[in-house]
Every structure is written in C-alpha cells, then in structure tokens.
Chain A
Amino acid sequence: MYLSIIILPLLASLSSGLLGRKIGTTGSQIISCSSLLISSILITIAFYEVGICGSSVKIDLLSWLDIDLLSISWCFYFDQLTVSLGLAVLYCSTLIHIYSIDYLSSDPHIQRFFSYLSAFTAGMLVLICGGNFFVMFVGWEAIGVVSYLLINYYFTRIQSNKAAILAFTMNRGGDMLMSIGFFAIFQTFASLNYSEVFSLVPYISNNAISIIALFLLGGALAKSANIPLHSWLPGSMEAPTPVSALLHAATLVTAGIYLLIRISPLLEYSSNVLLIITIIGSTTAFFAATCGLLQNDLKRIIAFSTISQLGYMMMAIGLSQYNVALMHTVNHAFFKALLFLGAGAVIHSFQDQQDVRKMGGLINFLPLTYTVMLVGSLSLLATPYLTGFYSKDLILELAYSQYSFSGTYAYILGSVTAGITAFYSFRLISLVFLTYPNAPKESYKNTHESNLAVVLPLIILSLFSIFFGYIFSDLFVGIGSDFFKNAIFIHPNSISLVEAEFSMLSNPLLKLLPALFSLFGMLTSIYLYHLFPNSLINLTNSIPFLRNIYKFFNGKYYFDVLYNQFFITNGLKLGYSISKELDRGVIELLGPYGLSKYLVKLSNNLAKLDTGVITTYALYITLALIYLIFLVLQPVFFSQLSEATMIPGAWGWLPLNTGEGEEFRLFILIVISSLFINIF
C-alpha cells in the first residue's frame, strides 16, 4: 500500500507521457486523476496508521550502491512528518489535477501537461518519503527538472523560457551547496541514512554540525525562495495557473522547509545556524510582504505572499518550533492553493487579464470565486479560528516568548508583516471584486463562473481553509501532544510552547497586536482602494517621498536590477571569458591553430636568414662556432664557475655538480638554442 502512494502518480505520468497518443486526452485525464485520487485515499489510510496510531513504516526496497565505505539503498520511510506533509501534497495535487481538466481543456498538449503534473507529484513524494539523504536528493532533483518543464510549459514564449532558466539555475546553485552538505555528512558520519546520522549528532563537534547545517540551509533557501535566492519565484508565474498552485502551495517551495524540519536533530545542535534561519525568515517575511504590497499582477501578488509565508515557516524553524512550521506548511498549502486556483478562475473567465488595475466589480459576475478568494485571504491573514490562525498566530507568540534578540526581531517583523499581508490581500479583493469596473465592457460580456471541475476543488479547498486548522491544531501543536514522536527533535532547552501560551497574559495587547495590525491593514486597504480610490493617486502625486516609496516597493527593492547589474552581467562576462580565453583559447593556442601559426612563423624566420650577403654568412659561421665551443666546454665552464665563487648562496640554486643537473644543462641549451633561432 505504501509504495503504491508513490508509484501510482509515477505510472500515471508515464502513461500520459509515453502513451499519450494511444490513450488520448480524456484517457490521460482519467488515468491521472484516478491515480492521484487513489493515492490520496491511501495517504489518508497511511496518516491514520502512521500518524494517529503511531506505527512508522520503513521499506528497504533494494540495494543501490554497496561499496566498502558507502552503502545506499532505495529506502522509503513513512513517519509522522512524511504522512502529514504527504497529506497536503496529495490532496492539493489531486484537486489541481481535477481543476486542470477544465482549465486547460482547449490546450493541444494536455497529455504532456498531465504527465508533468503527475511526475512532479511523484518526485515530491520520493523526496518526502526517502529514507536517506540520497533518495531524498533524487526526489529533490526530480522536482527541480520537472519544475523547469512545467514553468516552461508554454515553451514558445520567451518570458516562460527566461523564468524557467532563472528558476532552474538559481535552484542549481542551492543544490550545489546542498550536495556539498551531503558530502560533508558522509565525511563526518560515514553514512547517509537518517537514523544513523541523527543518532550520532550529539557526539559530533558543533562546528562540523554547523557547517553541514549551513550547506543544507543553502539548498533550502533556494528551493523555498528565501532571501537572497528568492527572485525565481515571482518570475515562475509565467507557468499556467494550476502549475503555480502546485509548485508554490504544497510542493516545490515546501521542499526546503521539509529538508530543514527533517534535519531538526542537526539544527538543534547548531544554535548559530538557528539564529541565521530566524533572521533570514523574518527578513524574508517582511521583505516579500512589502514587495507584494504594490504589485499589479494578480498572480505575482499571491507569489510574494507565498514568499512571505515561507519566511514565517523559516522563522518557526529558527525558533526550533518544527511542529508549528510543519503545521503552517500544511495550512499554507490549502489556503494558498485555493488563492491560486481562485486567481486562475478569475483570469480564465476574464479574457486572461492579470492586471488588477484593469479589473473591478467582478463580485456580481463571479460570486462564488469571490467567496473562495475571501475565504483564502482571511485564512492567509490569520483571521481568528480560520486555518491560518492556528499556526501563524502561534509562530508570533512563540517568537515573543523566546526573550532573545532573534525572537523579538521575529515578533516585531512578523507582526508588522501580518498587517501588510492584510493590506495586500484586501487590496487584491478590492481591486478585483469590489471597486468600480475598470475594464472595457467587452471583458465583462463574456465573464462567467467556471464549471464543476473548477468549482469542486475550490469548494473543497475552502472547507480545508476554514476547518483544517481547528481540527488538527491540537494534534500538531497542542501542548503535550506526542504526535510527532521521533520524526522531529526539539531540544528540551528550546521547548517554549507553555511559555508562549502564558507569557502574554500579563499584556494581552501584545497577543492581539498582530490581529490589530491585520485589522488596520484591512481597513486601510478597503479605504484606499475601494471607498476612495483616488486618494492614493493624489497622495503619491503630491508627495514625492511617497512616490519614491511606491516605486521602491513596486520595483521589489530593485533586487532584480542589482542581480542583473552585478551578478548576471558579470557572470555572463566571466562565462564568456572562460569559454573564449580559457577553454577555446587554450585549445586554439596550444592546439592545431597555434602550432601551425608557429611553424609558419618559424619557416618565415628561417627563410629570412638566406640574405645572399657573404658577410652575413660569415657571421652565421662565427656564431655557430662559438655555440659549438660553448656546447663542448660548458661542463668544464659551469663546474669551474661554481668552485670559483665558493659561495653556496650565489650558485647554490643551480644543481650543476650533481647528476640531477644534467636536465638543467639540457634546459639551458634548449633556451640558448631557441634564442639563436628566434634572433635570426
């Protein structure tokens, strides 16, 4: 049963990809969706058996490598962490498959699309179910490759090509660091199996652990789009909307978070790395929220929201609250998939328009889509008792209860970010659904709600976005819950759940601060974009400072400009230089081109010697005679010179009196001979 969870999506991908012509569009859709549906049912059973009943499953499938020092097998491990994340992955993926039936119904390459979608799901499952770092790396690379294919699905569009290449190269940078981390793990622990590595961690030097954790963090930062490796994620919105929902809600970006949660025993013994993770996570959350504040592309707003929420997850990991990070990952998967799919429904029904400034008034045309977007947005901004609230609010409380610099930093930035999140979420709602219609009349004429294949996933995800947090919060993050058992490790010194629960009783304002910020952001947004839409334009036009702030946030802190200016341009120049001057240059100069050129030059020089003047010939004969005398007498000459000086330092570096000096003499002769040849 457990292997079927992974194999079914893989088989679906192979059948759609290789037998697409035979099974046709409908066959591909039926096979993919039914395979994913069965996998979802199986993961639910696995969640019951492994998660709730607490019986972990290890499947040692077959040996892969078995050499003296290294033994790697195709090992799959189903523990509480695996099944919890697997639940989100498979539920979201299945719903996205169903959604894609209608969304891409007019696409001529549906089989290819479904093949990629299923392959991506299979890759993600290999990643989270892998029983050692090597199998995990296979899944990691598989989703890297398939994400490139999915982002570049419309491969005739140059923007898709650019976005895919950016995502791929940036992720390769992270993968390089991560693979170095794996080498370091092997060097330190002589094993790549989770159980062996994690059981040895307390006995290993903290410095070694920190270095390993830093390398793995590099991979996680790239995959989970945290600063400074974040810029690929907004660009990848060029992909079809179901791809954005799959990649940026439940799967690709959560891989980095999964990696860090999985290596919790390592991280718990490297406090410096935890501090770095907290700082990066908090900064990313704030930075991405401010970037999303003034974007105008519907999907990009949600993309920046994703980066911001990934920052929250990193923040929770940095605070050693891995169970809270996991719960936020799972919650985020549901409400973010809902937001992306809702945005897709809007875009699809509104003549593929993505600019929120050219929308407005859609609440009357798309009431169901409006409601699901509202549910998703309210869950995202942690409205009390919706799904997002149970994890996001807890992260901030946990940050406050650390009583440390990093904790306070995370709490302040996280609280401000909550307000900004509310602002951009309701800016989106206002501009798309509430405010005055800003699009041409023709756009509204054909606007209509989607059919059942689109509506059904939206409804199901909405229900998850409302109820999931409440139902599962006690299981995942409740005080005294032993749900995760050995799947994650929190050092006793880092447990602060009780502290978080009661530390804010003395000052309830601090507990309510994120909610108050959210309320303020929400009302401000409705005021500025719905009630008085001209006020923001007047403000930015009249005050240059505000205009500059607007441009700065809209330009995403000019990160792309800086990257283009300093990294990409210089990188391209370096690559060109290496290609032309080192690779091809060396081959050209030392290879056939250089040799032939040298021989031609040599021939020309020799030809010039034949001047026809007798005195020149006499000079040649004299020089040749001197050279011959030198050749015959040079051993005597050098030995006498060496003895005459009697100072070892003066000629000591010349190995003239030893047997090894023969080579040197030969070298001197060759140099002198070459000089003669070149002179003439």
Chain B
Amino acid sequence: MAGGYTPGFHPHLPGRGYKFLSQALGATMWFFIFYRARQDGAKLLGFDAFADNTHGDAHGSHH
C-alpha cells in the first residue's frame, strides 16, 4: 500500500505557477489602472477636461 491515513488537514494548496499567474494578472490590472490614472486622472476628475493626453504626454501642453 502506498501510504496510509495521516491525521490532520491536508488541502491541495495551489502551485507556484498559479500563484505567479494570479499575482501577475492582479499586478497588470492595478498597474494599468494607476498608469491610466496618471495619464487621464485629471481629465476624469474634471480638472483638465480639454487636455489631449492621448499621446501619453502627462505634462500637458507648454505652448
């Protein structure tokens, strides 16, 4: 017989691959949210409604 009854709680904990994937996915989402907030946050909050931030220029126009 291969092994017998072992007392205690032995759940199937997730492997490292799953943990890595979950963290990578979560990090991607939060990174994207905060990155876009940095780019478009002012527009969303109504502070900088007319700014054109579509090209990733976070500093706005200096002209």
Q: Which residues of chain A have a CB within 8 Å of any CB of chain B?
A: 364-368, 370-372, 374-375, 378, 383-386, 441, 444-449, 455, 459, 462-463, 466-467, 470, 474, 501-502, 504-505, 508, 511-512
Give bound CA distance, A255 to B46, whole Å. 36
Do A383 and B33 have beta carbons less than 8 Å apart? Answer: yes
Interface residues of B in 1-27 (CB under 8 A from A): 9-15, 18-19, 21-23, 25-26
Whether a CB of chain A sits under 8 angstroms from the CB of B29 is yes
Give bound CA distance, A501 to B46, whole Å. 10
Known pairs A459-B21, A504-B46, A512-B45; A368 contacts B33 (CB<8 A): no
Give me 30 A-to-B residue pairs in the complex whose CB atoms sit less than 8 angstroms apart, sorted by A's number: A364-B13, A365-B13, A365-B14, A367-B14, A367-B22, A367-B23, A368-B14, A368-B19, A371-B23, A371-B25, A371-B26, A375-B29, A384-B37, A385-B32, A385-B33, A445-B11, A448-B12, A448-B14, A449-B14, A449-B15, A455-B18, A455-B21, A462-B25, A463-B28, A466-B28, A470-B32, A470-B36, A505-B46, A505-B49, A512-B45
Neighbouring A residues of B40 by C-beta, 8 Å: 385
Neighbouring A residues of B45 by C-beta, 8 Å: 508, 512
Do A365 and B46 have beta carbons less than 8 Å apart? Answer: no
Known pairs A368-B25, A375-B25, A508-B46; A385 contacts B37 (CB<8 A): yes
Neighbouring B residues of A445 by C-beta, 8 Å: 9-12
Known pairs A371-B25, A385-B40, A502-B49; A449 contacts B18 (CB<8 A): yes
From A370, A385, A444, A501, residue with most partner B Cβ within 10 Å: A385
Give bound CA distance, A470 to B19, whole Å. 27
Neighbouring B residues of A367 by C-beta, 8 Å: 14, 18-19, 22-23
Q: Name the residue on B nearest A446 (C-beta).
A: B12
Do B37 and A447 have beta carbons less than 8 Å apart? Answer: no
Do A384 and B36 have beta carbons less than 8 Å apart? Answer: yes
Neighbouring B residues of A463 by C-beta, 8 Å: 28
Q: Name the residue on B nearest A515 (C-beta).
A: B44
Q: Name the residue on B nearest A448 (C-beta).
A: B12
Cβ of A632 to closest chain B Cβ, rounded Å? 105
Neighbouring A residues of B44 by C-beta, 8 Å: 384
> Which of A365, A378, A467, A508 touches B11 (beta carbons < 8 Å)?
A365
Neighbouring A residues of B46 by C-beta, 8 Å: 504-505, 508, 511-512
How would residues 44 to 56 of chain B score, 1 for a CB under 8 Å from any chain A CB and 0 otherwise?
A: 1110010000100
Report how many A-B pairs have Cβ atoms within 8 Å. 82
Neighbouring B residues of A508 by C-beta, 8 Å: 45-46
Neighbouring A residues of B37 by C-beta, 8 Å: 384-385
Cβ of A677 to closest chain B Cβ, rounded Å? 90
Cβ of A392 to closest chain B Cβ, rounded Å? 14
Neighbouring B residues of A365 by C-beta, 8 Å: 11-14
Total count of chain B residues near the partner, CB < 8 A: 26
Give bound CA distance, A378 to B33, whole Å. 11
Give bound CA distance, A366 to B12, whole Å. 10
Give bound CA distance, A438 to B36, whole Å. 38
Give bound CA distance, A512 to B37, whole Å. 14
Q: Name the residue on B nearest A445 (C-beta).
A: B11
> Which of B11, B22, B28, B36 touches A385 (beta carbons < 8 Å)?
B36
Neighbouring A residues of B10 by C-beta, 8 Å: 445
Closest A-B pairs by Cβ, 4 of them: A508-B46, A385-B36, A448-B12, A367-B22
Give bound CA distance, A449 to B32, whole Å. 26
Do A368 and B49 have beta carbons less than 8 Å apart? Answer: no
Neighbouring B residues of A505 by C-beta, 8 Å: 46, 49
From A364, A384, A446, residue with most partner B Cβ within 10 Å: A384
Give bound CA distance, A446 to B11, whole Å. 6
Neighbouring B residues of A462 by C-beta, 8 Å: 25, 29
Do A372 and B25 have beta carbons less than 8 Å apart? Answer: yes
Q: Name the residue on A nearest B31 (C-beta).
A: A466
Neighbouring B residues of A446 by C-beta, 8 Å: 12
Q: Name the residue on A nearest B15 (C-beta).
A: A449
Neighbouring B residues of A444 by C-beta, 8 Å: 9, 11
Cβ of B1 to closest chain A Cβ, rounded Å? 20
Neighbouring A residues of B54 by C-beta, 8 Å: 474
Give bound CA distance, A370 to B22, whole Å. 8
A375-B29, A449-B14, A512-B45 given. 17 additional CB < 8 A pairs?
A: A367-B22, A367-B23, A371-B26, A384-B33, A385-B36, A385-B40, A386-B33, A445-B12, A448-B12, A448-B14, A449-B18, A463-B28, A466-B32, A474-B54, A505-B46, A511-B46, A512-B46
Do B32 and A467 have beta carbons less than 8 Å apart? Answer: yes
Cβ of A480 to closest chain B Cβ, rounded Å? 13
Q: Name the residue on B nearest A441 (C-beta).
A: B9
Neighbouring A residues of B32 by C-beta, 8 Å: 385-386, 466-467, 470
Q: Name the residue on B nearest A393 (C-beta).
A: B44
Do B36 and A466 have beta carbons less than 8 Å apart? Answer: no
From B10, B32, B37, residue with most partner A Cβ within 10 Å: B32
From B9, B21, B40, residue with most partner A Cβ within 10 Å: B21
Give bound CA distance, A470 to B40, whole Å. 12
Give bound CA distance, A328 to B9, whole Å. 45
Give bound CA distance, A384 to B44, whole Å. 9
Neighbouring B residues of A378 by C-beta, 8 Å: 29
Known pairs A368-B21, A368-B22, A508-B46; A386 contacts B9 (CB<8 A): no
Cβ of A440 to closest chain B Cβ, rounded Å? 12
Give bound CA distance, A312 to B41, whole Å. 25
Do B22 and A371 have beta carbons less than 8 Å apart? Answer: yes
